[in-house]
A and B are shown apart, each in its own frame.
Chain A
Amino acid sequence: MTLEIALHRLERLHLEGPTRLQGPDLYLDPEEAQALLPAEAPVKLERLAVALPGQRVRMAPVLDVVEPRAKADAEQSAFPGFTGSFEGAGQGRTHVLDGLALVAVAKLPGAQEGVVDMSPEAADYCPFARTRNLVLSFSLQPGADRVAADEAIRRLTLGLAERLASLARDREPDQVQALQHQQPHLSLPRVALVYLVQSQGDLRRTYIYGQPADNILPTLLDPLEALDGAVVSGNFVMPSNKTCTYIHQNNPLLRALLARHGRDLDLAGVVVANEMSRMADKERCAAMAARLVRSLGAQGAVINQEGGGNTITDVMMICRQLGRAGLKTVLVLNEFAGEDGTTPSLTETTPEAVAIVSTGNNDHRLSLPPVDEVIGAESIPGVQGDLRGGISLPLGRLHSSTNQLGFNHLSCVSV
């Protein structure tokens, strides 16, 4: 199968109608965005704003970030299970408004609050300081249920993402990336991705094809489907630890594996599994995930973590089982090494965990200069100072900074 990712490069965003694509310019009629919200919605779209790399703009609390995408076939959906049906997922052509991100901002009780900062000083730390952002700032209607509000925000964000990308259907893309995952390359080492997600209930949820992953058994996911909107985030644990929808859509581990498929390795498949909260569930999940990887005939696997704390147990159990079965494994995870870097980062280990990629220390403290504009809240817990002024915050508060699918470029060294 082949999935064509058709990239349309956009240079400018304009919040004025009529909604259209014109050369490198995207126009959005704010009324049209408002109209996507049902009359009885538990949330209000307070504000639409454009935030560009290098601007002195900060936004918080950031819930999800979504890449605008639409299938070339208007009958098909970029977010199967949310905006339409499952037909065509992982194949055909998907239009992408490249470099553009929709950022949903809302104060939602019980969601942990993350910051996106467009300042140049934040660019290395926050991946979404490097995208052109269309920011959707929501407020909850009085008495609104937070879960219903979360659902409404997600529906609007995904719907608008698809609507904007659908404008690209009748234009020539700037670049087409043909992602292929077809014949096995039997002479190359077979590898799998153990794609761990964390789904633990309301506001702590990851969706596979629209279904909450809370109680899923480990299962196979086609690599191209995984890169075509099969996984959507509603996971608002620590802002650097969760994987937002944008990063699921562009799963960097899968992209890196596919880039070397047929050259250095043979990508056997993807096992998606949820990190459960209870020990017995962790054991079941780890055993099944490891068994699935082995049934693929894999000789090696990459295992990512989502979240932190007890989730290291899931990662280590799967690593141990695969290692004992003779497979080579690489783990991708971030660290809580303390502000001065002296706290041991791993609370659980296994001798098989000999190859770990560190995506950075969540406790590392950053100072960021004042900004001209704040979108959303003026202050949030865990960040010292008014968000408009100079702030001091741990890296873990910066959205997707130490993402554990390896989206960013941070790491740690021992000194």
Chain B
Amino acid sequence: MVRSLRVVHYLNQFFGQIGGEDQAGTACQVKPGPVGPGLAFKALLGGQAEIVATVICGDNYMGENLEQTSLAAAELVAQHQPDLLLAGPAFVSGRYGMACGAVCQAVAQQLGIPTVTGMSEENPAVDIYKAHAYIAPAGKSAAKMKDAAQAMVKLALALAQGQEPEPGSYFAQGKRRLVVREASGAQRAVQMLVELLQGGEPATELPLPNFEKVPPAPALTNLAEAVIVLGTEGGVTPVDNPDRIEMSMATKWGRYSLEGLAAMDPERFTASHGGYDNTAAKQNPNRVVPLDVMCDLAGEGVVGSLAEFFYTTAGNATTVDNATRFGREIAQDIRARFQDKVGVVFTST
């Protein structure tokens, strides 16, 4: 007889039957067996899989420190040696969606097992986590629990059996998977051209990335009154790189003080970026963050003043999703400090 699969289920405080919004600060805990919606999953899983434990965490507790808390939750999951993780479904709830996505990602990375959650396509966590978890499309609210559970179970069992899940049974992950085709590349190219010339729609094998068009901000009217903020994707950080910004495929950006400095000091700043030879930047970080000449320009009155901090990340093989987020967050951070008369000099390597 085939051994039944071991499943751990992740829920928030509400579905985990701890309480409502007033309990959203509850730390991670484990209950044996299925809880709440876990009973519906249990019925659908039948004899094929057994929910051995349920990990429950308050949405606020998870959200306040998503990265660390999701890793901690993953460790709780790991103690039960599961073959599969189910999380949620989170429907349209953003905080719960983020929690499910982060726990799925952490478990997939640590244990290498399939992780399945369910969300409405409007849930902002879909875009953030679809590449890291299988997210089954779900309705907007718990009224659609039965449909969501069915979709998640079907997807999870297919993955656990090593089958290719059906297209549409999860939000496409945006990954490129190698395949062997019947026709050669040349035959496919000529067929594609013939179809195009006959007025057909091209069935491209490599869709163009959909780069967001960002309209440039209006020019500053008076530079001499403006505050200039420096930024770079050149991987310049304080020498101890306190936030551990990755030199390649960065997942974060940093803001560091320039208070009292008239130039970038190589004793205080370094460069760590996987996409170029960092030697010259390490010798003189002004080559990437031109604080020295900007101070000269401020002294000459060409620009009003300089912000006493700079923004940085390493722009090397960064995912488009992360890069877009960095841009949005940095812009918001600048806006929170300077309402107007602010300009940005952002250097690229």
Which residues does A use to contact B, with CB under 8 Å?
A: 124, 189, 191, 252-253, 255-257, 259-260, 264-265, 299-302, 328-330, 332-333, 335, 337-338, 340-346, 349, 351, 353-361, 364, 395, 403-415
Please name 21 pairs of A and B residues whose Cβ atoms are closer than 8 Å in the assembled complex, sorted by A: A191-B197, A265-B194, A300-B193, A300-B196, A341-B175, A342-B173, A343-B317, A355-B202, A357-B188, A358-B206, A406-B184, A406-B185, A406-B188, A410-B185, A411-B178, A411-B180, A411-B181, A412-B176, A412-B205, A414-B207, A415-B176
Query: Which chain B residue lies CB-closest to A267?
Result: B190
Check if B193 sits within 8 Å of A414, measured CB to CB.
Answer: no
Check if B176 sits within 8 Å of A341, measured CB to CB.
Answer: yes
The residues of B that contact A341 with a CB separation of less than 8 Å are 175-178
Query: Which chain B residue lies CB-closest to A355?
Result: B202
Q: How far is the CB of B109 from chain A (nearest CB, A)?
A: 11
Given contacts A260-B194, A349-B208, A355-B193, is CB(A360)–CB(B186) below 8 Å?
Answer: no
The residues of A that contact B206 with a CB separation of less than 8 Å are 333, 335, 345-346, 356-358, 412
Q: Is B43 an interface residue (CB 8 A)?
A: no
B179, B181, B185, most chain A CB atoms within 10 A: B185
Query: Which chain A residue lies CB-closest to B321?
Result: A342
The residues of A that contact B211 with a CB separation of less than 8 Å are 349
What's the Cα separation between A110 and B54 when bound, in Å? 57
What's the Cα separation between A330 and B177 when bound, in Å? 21
What's the Cα separation between A224 and B290 when bound, in Å? 58
The residues of A that contact B24 with a CB separation of less than 8 Å are none
The residues of A that contact B187 with a CB separation of less than 8 Å are 252, 256, 406
What's the Cα separation between A349 and B206 when bound, in Å? 11
Partner of A406, one of B178, B189, B197, B320: B189
Across chains A and B, the number of contacting residue pairs, with CB separation under 8 Å, is 163
Partner of B204, one of A301, A354, A364, A407: A354
Check if A411 sits within 8 Å of B179, measured CB to CB.
Answer: yes
Q: How far is the CB of A210 from chain B (nearest CB, A)?
A: 25
The residues of A that contact B320 with a CB separation of less than 8 Å are 344
Q: How far is the CB of B276 from chain A (nearest CB, A)?
A: 14
Query: Which chain B residue lies CB-closest to A123?
Result: B180
Which residues does B use to contact A, with CB under 8 Å?
A: 131, 167, 172-190, 192-194, 196-198, 202-209, 211, 317, 319-320
The residues of B that contact A302 with a CB separation of less than 8 Å are 189-190, 193
What's the Cα separation between A345 and B209 when bound, in Å? 9
The residues of A that contact B204 with a CB separation of less than 8 Å are 354-356
Check if A414 sits within 8 Å of B176, measured CB to CB.
Answer: yes
What's the Cα separation between A358 and B178 when bound, in Å? 10
Q: How far is the CB of A399 from chain B (nearest CB, A)?
A: 16
Check if B177 sits within 8 Å of A357, measured CB to CB.
Answer: no
What's the Cα separation between A404 and B189 when bound, in Å? 11
Check if B317 sits within 8 Å of A410, measured CB to CB.
Answer: no
Query: 10 other contacts beyond A330-B189, A408-B185, with CB at 8 A cut-off?
Result: A256-B186, A256-B187, A299-B197, A300-B196, A337-B176, A343-B317, A349-B209, A355-B192, A406-B189, A414-B176
